Chains A and B, each alone.
Chain A
């Protein structure tokens, strides 16, 4: 008789040993002491439904009440900026004679300025500019930083060394000074170019205004370094993972590895860093506009509205307070959403 059949024989003949059981009232079923089937064993371990990284992140973001509240606030501001102007007949540049310097009323909830322009409408356009600046600037950072960082991390060696030296160099440049400098100096050349050229690009540049272009240039020159460092770090780490080696062994080219394996794994970090860039760009734009070197009139932004109102601060303080509060709320909600995203996407916190 083999060992296995002996075991089986023994099993089938088992019964409870009452002397050794603490609970004599327990009801046994007749087949309790038969061997369990493999299928029963398999079903025994209840498998928790698989949760993907994204489902998990969304769940954590939803549980974060502060972040959800901030997201709501952000949506309200976006609606205010983009949908709000549809309810007005006038344009933000329209000056209405005889309606100058009106106080708050039902028709003009935020009043009008000294040219008779509706201030609520101008606030809406101002918020729109702030949001657009934030999104464009962080898009620039995203593109440059990601490409630079992944090249640096992926190629490695001397190239990486030199590229990181450049990053270090840019890191030590005081950014705001350079932004100021650029926005002062490129104004006239850009205006001249716009006046002399008839292309649609020149037209749109003229509309955007030189100082916004300066902000974008500055972001393109200086602000991508943080992003590129993060991406490089991730790429360096991921490069050594087994699945990348496996992909390489299977003959995947560098391009494919970066696209299929590295970027999807950096995406959380990329999203968080990009989200954090938006408020800092808005911050910078409002700072420049407040100093009087921001968007060109008649276009407006929250910063330049505050700057315009500074002169009448004694008589019309609300003209300053309203855009200031909206700007702060906008940046606050973006920061809080960014914090929430970071907490939700950070795999280290995964429980």
Chain B
């Protein structure tokens, strides 16, 4: 078990380093560096700026410097959006907003998605199953921005039921959280359904039925716990989905979170922010994947004994 966790942590660090370097190198692909904008500054100004930010040094030195600084929590300063404000500051300010919406969305997705899949599996082949399958397939087919804009048009613009922008009061959480939760919810539903069906067809379910266990107890006691094992593994990608979904939802509903800020910095080419945010969000996703992988080993009693913590 300890060996497995060590292996996973090392892997996570490698991936993070890889992403950080990739981000850095890609940013340096842009000719002229970050200061080349529509109005080209004079060569003297450019040189001064490059010297100030250490951009005149060789690439690998720059990379090393960036990494060392990043480890100290220093990701440089914003170049355009909020001039000279440290990027770390901005992330600390923006991220909690995104986090609040994200957590609501995760809760909604899990609370609605898993039961939906279980109900569909319980009534497999029936009308309820067909209905839920259509809903869930629809859910994974509608892009987040479609959900967001349709909600905006109907509940915000036409009906005036819900506020269309900002985060003031709980009603303003409904649409963004639903936008974020919709896809993962339906995906979780489909996943739970298929893993539930898988579990229902196992021999131990037949054993339980032969013992005379009641239908509902079979589903909730015997099948669910086994079916949840693959579902837990989706929680890692779910975070990634919610993080990237945040770009759309926060843009459409004008929420001052990290996602919207990231999109804006992309459009404004504020490179330090883009780099820092990418690395930060990647670290978040990788961390979640790590937690989920370890959790997975904890839930399933079979793993550590029979396989000695190996894959």
Chain A in direct contact with chain B (Cβ < 8 angstroms): yes
A interface vs B, CB < 8 Å? 66, 168-169, 172-178, 180-182, 184-186, 188-189, 192, 279, 283, 286-287, 290-293, 303, 306-307, 310, 313-314, 317, 320-321, 324-325, 327-328, 331-332, 334-336, 339
Which of A178, A292, A324 has most B Cβ within 10 Å? A324
| Residue B138 interfacial (CB < 8 Å) | yes
Bound Cα distance A303, B145 (Å): 9
Which residue of chain B lies nearest to A287 when distances are taken between CB atoms in the complex? B143
Near A by CB (< 8 A), chain B positions 217-241 give: 240
Query: Residues of A contacting B143 with CB < 8 Å?
Result: 283, 286-287, 290, 303, 324, 327-328, 331
Interface of A (DSSP majority class): helix
A279 nearest CB across to chain B (Å) = 7
By the criterion CB–CB under 8 Å, are A313 and B152 in contact? yes
Q: How far is the CA of A314 from the CA of B165 in the complex (A)?
A: 14
Given the complex, which residues of A lie within 8 Å of B12, measured CB to CB?
A: 172
Q: List, sorted by A's number, 18 A–B pairs whose CB atoms are closer than 8 Å.
A: A174-B244, A178-B19, A181-B22, A181-B274, A184-B266, A185-B26, A287-B143, A287-B144, A287-B244, A292-B263, A310-B252, A320-B153, A321-B153, A328-B138, A328-B141, A335-B140, A336-B137, A339-B137
Please pick, from B141, B149, B263, B267, the residue contacting A313 in the complex, using a CB distance under 8 A: B149
- In the complex, the chain B residue whose C-beta lies closest to that of A309 is B149
Does chain A have a CB within 8 A of B11?
yes
Q: Which of A172, A290, A291 contacts B266 (CB 8 A)?
A: A291
For B31, list chain A residues within 8 Å (CB).
188-189, 192
| A317 and B153 contacting across the interface, CB-CB below 8 Å | yes
Q: Let me know if B15 and A173 touch, CB within 8 A.
A: yes
Prevailing SS type, chain B contact patch: helix
- The answer for the CA separation of A188 and B158 in the assembled complex, in Å, is 41
* A174/B286 contact (C-beta < 8 A), A287-B145, A320-B149, A331-B143 known: yes
Known: A174-B243, A176-B244. A324 touches B26 (CB 8 A): no
A336 CA to B139 CA, complexed, in Å: 12
Give the distance in Å from the alpha carbon of A176 to the alpha carbon of B150 in the complex: 23
Check if B26 sits within 8 Å of A181, measured CB to CB: yes
Complex alpha-carbon distance, A212 and B145, angstroms = 19
Q: Which of A176, A291, A321, A339 contacts B263 (CB 8 A)?
A: A291
How far, in angstroms, from A176 to B244 measured CA to CA in the complex? 7
A174 to B158, CA, bound (A): 37
The interface bits of chain B over 110-152 (1 if a CB of A lies within 8 angstroms of the residue's CB, else 0) are 0000000000000000000000001001101111111001101
Instruction: Decide if A292 touches B267 in the complex (CB within 8 Å).
Output: yes
Q: Is the CB of B247 within 8 A of A291?
A: yes
- Which residue on A lies nearest to B157, using beta carbons? A314
Question: Taking the nearest CB of chain B, how far is it from the CB of A220, in angstroms?
Answer: 15
Contact, CB under 8 Å: B29 / A185: yes
Write the chain B residue with the least CB distance to A291.
B263
Known: A174-B286, A292-B263. 7 other contacts (CB 8 A): A181-B274, A185-B30, A287-B244, A291-B248, A307-B145, A325-B146, A332-B141
CA distance A181 to B31 in the complex (A): 15
A313 and B145 in contact, given A189-B30, A293-B266 (Cβ under 8 angstroms):
no
Which B residues touch A186, using CB under 8 A? 26, 29
Check B281 against A177 for contact (C-beta < 8 Å). yes
**CB–CB A290/B145 < 8 A:** yes
Cβ–Cβ < 8 Å partners of B142 in chain A: 328, 331-332
Q: Do A172 and B286 touch across chains, with their CB atoms under 8 A apart?
A: yes
Cβ of B107: which chain A residues have Cβ within 8 Å of it?
none
Residues of A contacting B146 in the complex (Cβ-Cβ under 8 angstroms): 306, 324-325, 327-328
In the complex, what distance in Å separates the CA atom of A180 from the CA atom of B251? 15
Q: Closest Cβ of chain B: how far from A285's Cβ, in Å? A: 10
Q: Complex: how many Å from CA A307 to CA B252?
A: 10
Q: How far is the CB of A102 from chain B (nearest CB, A)?
A: 20
Residues of A close to B286: CB separation below 8 A: 172, 174
Q: Contacts A283-B143, A291-B251 known; A169 to B15 CB distance under 8 Å?
A: yes
Specify which chain B residues have a CB less than 8 angstroms from the CB of A331 in the assembled complex.
Answer: 141-143
Chain B residues positioned under 8 Å from A286 (CB to CB): 143, 145
CB distance B137 to A332 under 8 Å? Answer: yes
Q: A173 contacts which chain B residues (CB < 8 A)? A: 15, 18-19, 282
Give A205 to B268 CA distance when docked, in angstroms.
24
Report how far A293 CA is from B252 CA in the complex, Å. 15
- Is A185 within 8 A of B27, CB to CB? yes
Q: Is A306 within 8 A of B26, CB to CB?
A: no
A-chain residues with CB within 8 Å of residue B150 when the two chains form the complex = 321, 324
Residues facing A in B232-291 (CB within 8 A) are 240, 243-244, 247-248, 251-252, 263, 266-267, 269, 274, 278, 281-282, 285-286, 289
Q: How far is it, in angstroms, between the C-alpha of A283 and the C-alpha of B141 when the chains are bound?
A: 8
3 closest A-B pairs (Cβ-Cβ)?
A332-B141, A331-B141, A324-B146
Given contacts A287-B248, A331-B141, A331-B142, contact A306 B23 (CB under 8 A): no
B175 to chain A, nearest CB (A): 14
| Interface residue B14 (Cβ < 8 Å from any Cβ of A) | yes
CB distance from A177 to the nearest CB of B (A): 5
B157 CB contacts on chain A under 8 angstroms? 313-314, 317
Question: From A282, which residue of chain B is reached at the shortest CB distance?
Answer: B143
A306 B149 Cβ-Cβ under 8 A: yes
**Which of chain A's residues have a CB closer than 8 A to the CB of B267?**
292-293
Q: How far is the CB of B257 from chain A (nearest CB, A)?
A: 15
**Which B residues are CB-close (under 8 A) to A320?**
149, 153
A335 with B137: CB separation less than 8 A: yes
Closest residue of chain B to A171 (Cβ to Cβ) is: B289
